[in-house]
């Protein structure tokens, strides 16, 4: 369960980083 939780958190962090990069590029 702990691994699953941390794995989802890592995936969310990556998606968040991608979203931030796209926002910066569009500006």
pTM of the model: 0.56
- Measuring CA to CA, how many Å separate 21 from each of 2, 12, 13, 25? 29, 14, 12, 6
In the structure, what pLDDT confidence band is assigned to residue 27 with cuts at 50, 70 and 90? confident
Identify the pLDDT of residue 2.
67
Q: If you average pLDDT over residues 17-22, what whole number do you get? A: 94
From the centroid of its chain, how far is CA 19? 8
Written as one string, the DSSP assignment of 1-27 is: -HHHHHHHHHHHHHHHHHHHHHHHHH-
Residue range 16-26: mean pLDDT, rounded: 92
**Mean pLDDT to the nearest integer, 13-25:** 94
């Amino acid at each position: 369960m702990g691994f699953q939780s941390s794995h989802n958190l890592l995936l969310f962090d990556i998606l968040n980083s991608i979203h931030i990069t796209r926002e910066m590029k569009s500006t």
